[in-house]
């Protein structure tokens, strides 16, 4: 077990060693400073601008940035729907997989365009290679969209600074950040044994002599951007628990590092752009504190094993191994579970439905908070809302007009911040109430929904809506979710939970950018201190965590006490 802890610690140390310098590089790209990549990718950028008719000199207001984002996302959604509903006759389908139904295609298209990657299908049997490649493209674009719009908010926080051009931000992020890192990651995964081929299923003979057909495909490229872009959609049905998607412990370390690499780097990118490194370290400290408070207990519980099995006198020397891969063990699986839910990644290397109740609760809390690193770009936007709330409350407590980076935070900004902060619990709890009512009113009709009715079944439904609202995409896969209700309900929640939390922070940043800059004075609230970081953490707990306590009490907490 000491070896397992060492492996987890090594992953986290390597992550920080890579994320901090990457943050400086991302800051330069978003700030349109010169980098080593200009000579390599400049011609590609210019070709894309000419092809799309983009005037790179056009300065956009915050409203124009949002309009551009929503327009191109809408066009990508329509193209994705066309591919998914016509895969049976389109090329690159060597295994003859069928097209998707309308409701499943709607859910899948929304899921990947919004960077959620919730999958109500099994990858190798539910999609053709063209379908997989189409979704892989959206994994680049949706991640690039989040990073580009975060760059707009970073620039808006500077005094008297233009917001730039959204299309330029998007292209530069994709070509200079996501593409080279994903290419390198795909090569490393390829050398680890992840397949990268357009041939169909392979025929093999198992150790016991059975003839077996094994699915394969262009998985290495898909998995790299799946992890780096906090997308999380698996090429194979069981995601990174599949031996061809995650062959060994080294590939598991690489994929684990990829989950948090860019979300952490974005915090330091903000510090570079604003020239406020102390502020970046404060934000990183708050996020890390929340992350560790979820991670450490989860690792400990999973390594201790299931108390119900211990009561039967069965030894669990390896810990709670239900739903986990022998090649990873409980510690690395628990680390991945908290990584993937504190970000909006959603990939899995073990089945979350088999986590101990309180471990599953910690995974849920990571998504409910949705601000401890979060997804690429958008994770910071969620945290930005809590900064605005903390600034306003702190200002009132000391009897001063609330200010953040030299701009007054007034009623308009607070109204937007509160709407965004309350939207997340509203979407989750309303969806949960509707699904609970439908199941309770007609359990025979909806019997296929829950593999384990009762407290755990309640957690399965809670997890699904939480994952959809947090743009996460993981699931308690005991839920039978490929039905019209779950496909359409989760699709609507994914749309609302993706774009409204983007519109809100950008509107606040645009409003603050238009205000007169106020120089700092002796009475200015310092927002880069540990005291203010504590205030942000308290606001997150009060606004986010307490909203969900009743639902958690009816699900994982009640199930935990049932064990004893």
Q: Where are the domains of the chain?
A: 13-276, 378-563
Encode pLDDT of 466-513 as tens digits: 999 999 999 998 899 999 999 999 999 999 999 999 999 999 999 988
List the single range of 65-79, 213-227, 399-413 with lowest mean pLDDT.
Answer: 399-413
pLDDT score, position 162 = 82
Encode pLDDT of 297-354 as tens digits: 999 999 999 998 988 888 888 999 999 999 999 999 999 999 999 999 999 999 999 9
Distance, in Å, from the CA atom of 226 to the CA atom of 512, rounded to the nearest integer, reads 34
| pLDDT above 90 as % of the chain | 78
Structure tokens at 421: 């902060």
Q: Identify the CA nearest to 404 among candidates 276, 492, 297, 498.
A: 276
Structure tokens at 173: 């992020």
Structure tokens at 524: 């200015």
**H-state helical runs in 31-165:** 37-52, 62-84, 102-113, 123-126, 129-156
Question: With contact defined as beta carbons under 8 Å apart, do 536 and 372 qualify?
Answer: no
pTM (2 d.p.): 0.95
pLDDT score, position 206 = 82
pLDDT score, position 1 = 55
Task: Give the residues across from 213 on adjacent strands.
Answer: 203
Distance, in Å, from the CA atom of 291 to the CA atom of 294, rounded to the nearest integer, reads 5
Structure tokens at 162: 């233009």
Encode pLDDT of 2-54 as tens digits: 788 999 999 999 999 999 999 999 999 999 999 999 999 999 999 999 998 89
């Amino acid at each position: 077990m000491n070896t397992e802890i060492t492996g987890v610690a090594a992953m986290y140390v390597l992550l920080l060693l890579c994320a901090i310098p990457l943050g400086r590089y991302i800051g330069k790209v978003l700030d349109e400073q010169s980098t080593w990549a200009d000579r390599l990718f400049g011609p590609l950028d210019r070709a894309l601008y000419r092809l799309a008719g983009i005037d790179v000199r056009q300065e956009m207001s915050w409203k124009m940035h949002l309009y551009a984002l929503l327009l191109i996302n809408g066009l990508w959604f329509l193209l994705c729907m066309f591919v998914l509903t016509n895969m049976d006759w389109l090329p690159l389908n060597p295994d003859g997989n069928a097209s998707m139904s309308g409701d499943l295609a709607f859910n899948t298209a929304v899921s990947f365009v919004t960077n959620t990657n919730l999958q109500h299908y099994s990858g190798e049997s539910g999609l053709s290679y063209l379908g997989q490649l189409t979704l892989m493209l959206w994994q680049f674009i949706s991640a690039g969209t989040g990073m580009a719009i975060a760059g707009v908010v970073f620039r808006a926080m500077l005094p008297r600074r233009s917001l730039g051009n959204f299309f330029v931000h998007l292209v530069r992020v994709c070509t200079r950040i996501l593409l080279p890192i994903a290419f390198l990651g795909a090569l490393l995964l390829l050398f680890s044994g992840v397949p990268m081929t357009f041939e169909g299923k392979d025929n093999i003979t198992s150790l016991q002599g059975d003839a077996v057909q094994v699915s394969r495909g262009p998985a290495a490229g898909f998995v790299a951007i799946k992890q780096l872009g906090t997308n999380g959609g698996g090429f194979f049905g069981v995601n990174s628990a599949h031996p061809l998607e995650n062959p060994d412990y080294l590939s598991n370390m690489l994929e684990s590092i990829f989950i948090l690499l860019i979300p952490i780097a974005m915090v330091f990118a903000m510090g570079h752009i604003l020239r406020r490194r102390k502020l970046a370290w404060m934000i990183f400290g708050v996020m890390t504190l929340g992350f560790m408070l979820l991670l450490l207990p989860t690792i400990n519980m999973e390594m201790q094993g299931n108390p119900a099995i211990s009561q039967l006198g069965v030894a669990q020397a390896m810990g709670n191994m239900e739903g986990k891969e022998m090649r990873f063990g409980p510690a690395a699986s628990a680390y991945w579970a908290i990584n993937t839910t504190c970000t909006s990644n959603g990939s899995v290397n073990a089945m979350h439905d088999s986590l101990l109740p309180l471990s599953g609760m910690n995974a849920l809390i990571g998504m409910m908070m949705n601000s401890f690193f979060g997804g690429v770009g958008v994770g910071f936007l969620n945290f930005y809302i809590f900064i605005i709330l903390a600034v306003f409350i702190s200002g009132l407590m000391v009897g001063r007009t609330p200010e953040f980076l030299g701009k007054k935070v007034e009623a308009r900004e607070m109204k937007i911040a509160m709407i965004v902060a309350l939207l997340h619990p509203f979407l989750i709890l309303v969806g949960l109430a509707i699904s609970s009512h439908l199941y309770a009113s007609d359990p025979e009709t909806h019997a296929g929904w829950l593999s384990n009715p009762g407290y755990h079944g309640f957690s399965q439904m809670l997890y699904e809506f939480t994952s959809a609202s947090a743009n996460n995409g993981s699931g308690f896969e005991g839920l039978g979710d490929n039905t019209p209700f779950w496909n359409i309900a989760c699709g609507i929640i994914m749309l609302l939970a993706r774009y409204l939390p983007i519109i809100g922070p950008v509107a606040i940043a645009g409003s603050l950018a238009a205000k007169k800059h106020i120089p700092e004075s002796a009475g200015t609230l310092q927002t880069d201190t540990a005291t203010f970081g504590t205030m942000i953490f308290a606001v997150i707990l009060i606004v986010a965590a307490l909203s969900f306590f009743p639902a958690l009490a009816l699900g994982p907490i009640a199930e935990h006490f049932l064990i004893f």
